[in-house]
Copies of this chain bind each other. A is one copy, B any other.
Amino acid sequence: MLGAKLKELREMNGYVQRQIAAELEVDTAYISKVENDEKPLSKSHLKKLSKIYKISERELLTIWLTDKIKELVKNEPTAKESILLALSEMK
């Protein structure tokens, strides 16, 4: 989900992976993996990416965090209950 979004954003803004990799000073392989959800995106890159892709950092963070939550509860039989419970306890 985050990967797909990042890819979409990149293409919308007319970049190739190499350019993004250069901006973030990482390997293009890393970008590829992130876009394919094979590696998590380092939180430290959110700010720069939000600038490059002209999206609010907050929106990107929301998606990023959502991914983390989904990863955490994946395969847990009580995923839904737990999320609902967490939510109700945070109000």
Residues of A that sit less than 8 Å from B by CB = 1, 58, 61-63, 65-66, 68-70, 72-73, 76-87, 89-90
Contacts and interface: CB of A to CB of B under 8 A. Distances in A.
Majority DSSP secondary structure for residues of A touching B? helix
Given A62-B82, A66-B83, A73-B90, 17 more contacts: A1-B89, A58-B78, A61-B76, A61-B77, A61-B78, A62-B78, A65-B72, A65-B73, A65-B78, A65-B82, A66-B82, A66-B85, A69-B73, A70-B90, A72-B72, A79-B90, A80-B90
A59 B73 CA distance: 15
The count of identical subunits is: 2
Sort A-B residue pairs by CB-CB distance and give the 8 closest, nearest first: A65-B82, A69-B86, A62-B78, A66-B85, A66-B82, A66-B86, A62-B81, A61-B78
